[in-house]
């Protein structure tokens, strides 16, 4: 392990909030029993909020952000991991209350890690990252929970909001691979062709779903993945058919939801919250094992931007303004 390595350090002194690239050593890392040489991390919407001002998620400073990463075990005091194991981390509040992946080395609790499936590379696992893992959860709930767990009718027509984002774009691809007719919702007209390329049968503009929702509208969707909340989710709920499942996994537009009980008691619609932070490791291993079957990484590469740690500060503010699309991954070797 290098004596000195690079990390992005957040600090707050009074009203002054800073984010600087610094060289630190192993003694700076104070959590966990497994040290990982980080190859890749991701820039997620939650990361952007933390980078702005801590987002009331970071309780102690100085702090290393980064809610996901992939890399190789360097040192381990755990019986479950040994030096050389390739691992993935998402969730568990790493990057919030524990030091995260915006560092060339990370030290974390072994229970936060899963071994990378051999079918994936370390880079591909962070092309997925928290966004892809959330998309996998959401797609499985929308499609397979109804068909297999609840023994319901086949899910054909689905809608994905925020489809230009990291979660939404991967959800479009996965649901298409699962055999659904996917309608993608985006506010970015220049992404229409790309969304069709990755599996969207139809693309509609976000403005079409920002009107005041009726208690019940005409039913269009057997299921949905919503990443934005607010009026878009209100309209999707009112347009979902009998026994449809709406997976709610984001609040990019609004945290508020003004709806009625009508979709739930008249049509039996289910609003299913997706929390990717504390998912059990048993489920994590299953979902990661499915990734290579459901994601076309060659196609997904078209929406991937690889940046260095030094570029993070320039990109996160654009993400908060809705000026980015696709998935950003951070190469800690750059």
Number of domains in the chain: 2
Q: Could you tell me if 221 and 102 lie in one domain?
A: no
- Please write the tens of the pLDDT for every residue from 72-94: 999 999 999 999 999 999 999 99
pLDDT digits (tens, 9 = 90+) for 139-174: 999 999 988 888 889 999 999 999 988 899 999 999
**One domain for residues 75 and 162:** no
326 pLDDT exceeds 80? no
In this prediction the pTM is: 0.91
Same-domain pairing of 153 and 231: yes
pLDDT at 111 over 90: yes
62 cis-preceded (ω within 30 degrees of 0): yes
Count of alpha carbons within 13 angstroms of residue 135, beta-carbon side: 32
**CATH value at residue 213:** 3.40.50.720
Query: Range of 327's domain?
Result: 5-116+297-331
With contact defined as beta carbons under 8 Å apart, do 237 and 269 qualify?
Answer: yes
The CATH number given to whatever domain includes residue 321 is 3.90.180.10
How far, CA to CA in Å, does 279 sit from each of 267, 285, 315? 29, 10, 29
Contacts of 60 by beta carbon, 8 Å cutoff, 6+ apart: 97
Q: Please check whether residues 147 and 250 belong to one and the same domain.
A: yes
Distance of alpha carbon 156 from alpha carbon 158, whole angstroms? 6
Nearest 5°: phi and psi at 184? Answer: -100, 140
């Amino acid at each position: 392990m290098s004596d000195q390595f690079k990390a992005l350090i957040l600090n707050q002194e009074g009203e002054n909030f800073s984010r600087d690239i610094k060289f630190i050593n192993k003694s700076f890392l104070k959590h966990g029993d497994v040290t990982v040489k980080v190859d890749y991390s991701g820039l997620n919407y939650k990361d952007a909020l933390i980078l702005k001002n801590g987002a009331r998620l970071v309780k102690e400073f100085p702090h290393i952000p980064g809610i996901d990463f992939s890399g190789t075990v360097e040192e381990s005091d755990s019986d479950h991991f040994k030096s050389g194991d390739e691992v993935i981390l998402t969730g568990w509040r790493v990057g919030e209350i524990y030091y995260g992946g915006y560092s060339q080395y990370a030290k974390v609790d072994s229970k936060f890690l899963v071994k990378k499936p051999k079918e994936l590379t370390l880079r591909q696992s962070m092309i997925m990252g928290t966004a892809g893992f959330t998309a996998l959860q959401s797609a499985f709930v929308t499609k397979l929970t109804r068909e297999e767990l609840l023994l319901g009718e086949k899910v054909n027509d689905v809608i994905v909001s925020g489809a230009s984002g990291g979660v939404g774009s991967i959800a479009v691809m996965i649901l298409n691979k699962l055999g659904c007719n996917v309608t993608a919702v985006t506010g970015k007209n220049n992404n229409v062709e790309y969304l069709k390329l990755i599996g969207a049968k139809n693309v509609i503009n976000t403005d079409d779903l920002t009107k005041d929702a009726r208690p019940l509208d005409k039913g269009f969707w057997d299921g949905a993945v919503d990443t934005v909340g607010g009026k878009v989710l209100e309209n999707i709920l009112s347009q979902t058919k009998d026994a449809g499942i709406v997976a709610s996994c984001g609040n990019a537009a609004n945290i508020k939801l003004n709806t009625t009980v009508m979709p739930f008691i008249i049509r039996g619609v289910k609003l299913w919250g997706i929390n990717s932070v504390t998912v059990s490791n048993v489920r994590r291993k299953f979902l990661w094992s499915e990734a290579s079957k459901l994601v076309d990484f060659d196609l997904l590469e078209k929406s991937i931007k690889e940046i260095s740690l030094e570029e993070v500060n320039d990109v996160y503010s654009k993400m908060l303004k809705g000026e980015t699309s696709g998935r950003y991954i951070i190469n800690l070797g750059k």
